[in-house]
C-alpha cells in the first residue's frame, strides 16, 4: 500500500490516500455564509486535482453550536447557495469533497452565540479558559433537536453537491463531550456505559444516513483523552465498531479532550497508538472501513511509514497544507 494508491470511502473513489484534513480557517463571512476568501483558500490548495480528498473545516449545524467567529454555517437553508459554491470549487479542481458537521457544545463562545452554551452535564471541558461560564445541561428535547440538526445539515450537504459528510466527534466539541467520562456525568440513557455516552453520536449518524443518499459518511472520533479518567484506546476500538455498524464509511482518528495536538510526542502520526488498534478492531469485527489518521504528518515519507505500520488507510495532512497552498504540487506531482 502506498499513498498514491486509490481507495474507496463508501461509494466515493479517491485517486490517492492523501487527504487535506478538516481545519478551522476563520475565513467565512461574519454571518457564517461562504465567502470568496474561503473559496479561494480551497481552490489554491486543491488546484491540479492531486489530493485524494478535501475535507472542509467544521460547519456548525445550529446557531447555538457555533464555536468561533467566522466559522462556516450549514445550519440554515439560506446557506445552500454558498455551500453549492464550496462544493463546486473543489469539483472544478477534480477533487472529491466532504464537509465536516459540528456542534461546539460547551466550547461555543458565549460572546458568539449570545446565550448559555449547551453541554451533557453542566461542566466545562478540561482546559477551558478561566472564567468560562458554566454551560447548561441538555434536556432530552435539546438532544433531539441537535440530532435532527445533523440530519438536516446532511440534507443540505447533499443538495449542495458534496460527496460526503463527516460528523465531528473529537477535539472537545459536543459529541466528544458526550463520549468522554470527564464531561459526561449523566445517569440516563445518554451516559454511563460507552454505548450510552456514544448514543447521541449514533443517533446523529442514523439521522445523517437517512438524508445522505449516495454520500459517504465519516466520523472524526476523539480516540483517547490522554487524561486520567478519560476515554481509552479500548473505548475508541469499541466506539469505532459501533459507528461502522451504524453506517460509518470511514473513521478518522484524532485526539479527544486533548484537542488536535499531543504535547508528549513529536513523532508523525500523533494518534497512531489509537488508529492502529482501531483498524485492527474494525477488521476483527468484519467492518474494515478505512481509517484516517492525521497529526504531525508532513511528508510522503511520513505517510508511507504510517501506511507500512498499519496505522491507517488514509493520511490527513493539516497544517502543512494550511501554511503552504502548493504543498500538494510539491509532494504529490509525479513525473
Q: Which stretches of the chain are assigned E, i.e. beta strand?
A: 7-9, 12-14, 18-20, 53-60, 97-102, 118-119, 136-137, 164-169, 216-222, 250-254, 291-294, 314-317
CA-nearest of 228, 229, 197, 221 to 274 is: 221
Q: Which residues of the chain have pLDDT under 70?
A: 258-264, 334-335
Alpha-carbon torsion angle 260, 90, 334, 324, nearest 10: -50
Q: How high is the pLDDT of residue 265? A: 73
Range of the domain at 246: 7-332
Q: Which stretches of 48-200 are assigned E, i.e. beta strand?
A: 53-60, 97-102, 118-119, 136-137, 164-169
**Residue 2 falls inside a structural domain:** no
Q: How high is the pLDDT of residue 263? A: 63
List pLDDT tens digits, range 90-121.
999 999 999 999 999 999 988 899 999 999 99
278, 234 Cβ separation under 8 angstroms: no
**CATH of residue 91:** 3.20.20.70
User: How many whole angstroms separate alpha carbon 172 and alpha carbon 178?
Assistant: 9
CA-nearest of 328, 293, 327 to 308 is: 293
CA-nearest of 56, 217, 216, 59 to 153 is: 59
User: How many whole angstroms separate alpha carbon 320 and alpha carbon 44?
Assistant: 14
**Residue 131 falls inside a structural domain:** yes
Cell 510539491 locates to 330
Q: Is the alpha carbon torsion for 278, 223, 153, 42 positive or negative?
A: negative
Sequence-ordered list of residues with C-beta below 8 angstroms from that of 237, at least 6 positions apart, any chain: 277, 278, 280, 281
Q: How high is the pLDDT of residue 130? A: 76
Q: Is the alpha carbon torsion for 262, 276, 254, 56 positive or negative?
A: positive
**Residue 235 falls inside a structural domain:** yes
List pLDDT tens digits, range 273-304.
999 999 999 999 999 999 999 999 999 999 99
User: How many whole angstroms separate alpha carbon 195 and alpha carbon 233?
Assistant: 15
Q: How high is the pLDDT of residue 335? A: 40
**pTM confidence score:** 0.96
Which three three-digit cell numbers place residue 169? 466527534
Sequence-ordered list of residues with C-beta below 8 angstroms from that of 83, at least 6 positions apart, any chain: 34, 74, 99, 156, 157, 160, 162
**Residue 55 falls inside a structural domain:** yes
Cell 510522503 locates to 300
**Residue 248 falls inside a structural domain:** yes
CA-nearest of 53, 58, 54 to 24 is: 58
Number of domains in the chain: 1
Q: How high is the pLDDT of residue 262? A: 65
**Residue 1 falls inside a structural domain:** no
How is residue 272 annotated by DSSP? Answer: H
Amino acid at each position: 500500500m502506498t499513498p498514491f494508491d486509490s481507495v474507496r470511502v463508501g461509494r466515493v473513489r479517491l485517486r490517492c490516500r492523501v487527504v487535506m484534513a478538516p481545519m478551522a480557517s476563520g475565513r467565512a463571512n461574519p454571518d457564517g455564509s461562504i465567502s470568496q476568501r474561503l473559496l479561494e483558500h480551497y481552490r489554491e490548495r486543491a488546484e491540479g486535482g492531486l489530493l485524494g480528498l478535501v475535507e472542509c473545516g467544521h460547519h456548525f449545524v445550529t446557531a447555538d453550536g457555533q464555536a468561533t467567529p467566522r466559522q462556516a454555517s450549514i445550519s440554515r437553508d439560506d446557506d445552500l447557495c454558498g455551500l453549492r459554491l464550496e462544493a463546486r470549487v473543489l469539483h472544478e479542481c477534480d477533487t472529491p469533497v466532504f464537509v465536516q458537521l459540528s456542534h461546539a457544545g460547551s466550547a461555543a463562545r458565549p460572546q458568539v452565540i449570545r446565550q448559555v452554551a449547551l453541554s451533557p452535564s453542566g461542566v466545562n471541558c478540561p482546559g477551558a479558559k478561566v472564567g468560562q461560564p458554566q454551560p447548561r445541561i441538555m434536556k432530552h428535547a435539546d438532544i433531539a433537536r441537535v440530532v435532527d440538526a445533523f440530519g438536516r445539515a446532511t440534507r443540505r450537504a447533499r443538495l449542495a453537491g458534496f460527496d460526503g459528510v463527516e460528523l465531528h466527534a473529537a477535539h472537545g466539541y459536543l459529541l466528544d463531550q458526550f463520549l468522554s467520562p470527564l464531561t459526561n456525568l449523566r445517569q440516563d440513557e445518554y451516559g454511563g456505559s460507552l454505548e450510552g455516552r456514544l448514543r447521541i453520536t449514533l443517533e446523529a449518524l442514523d439521522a445523517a444516513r437517512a438524508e445522505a443518499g449516495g454520500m459517504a459518511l465519516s466520523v472524526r472520533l476523539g480516540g483517547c483523552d490522554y487524561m486520567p479518567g478519560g476515554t481509552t484506546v479500548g473505548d475508541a476500538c469499541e466506539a469505532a465498531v459501533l459507528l461502522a455498524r451504524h453506517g460509518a464509511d470511514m473513521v478518522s482518528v484524532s485526539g479527544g479532550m486533548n484537542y488536535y495536538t499531543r504535547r508528549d510526542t513529536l513523532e508523525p502520526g500523533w494518534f497512531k497508538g489509537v488508529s492502529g488498534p482501531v483498524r485492527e478492531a474494525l477488521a476483527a469485527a468484519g467492518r474494515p472501513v478505512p481509517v484516517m489518521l492525521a497529526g504531525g504528518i508532513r511528508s510522503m515519507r511520513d505517510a508511507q511509514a504510517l501506511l507500512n505500520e498499519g496505522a491507517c488507510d488514509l493520511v490527513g495532512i493539516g497544517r502543512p497544507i494550511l501554511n503552504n497552498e502548493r504543498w500538494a504540487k510539491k509532494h504529490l506531482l509525479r513525473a
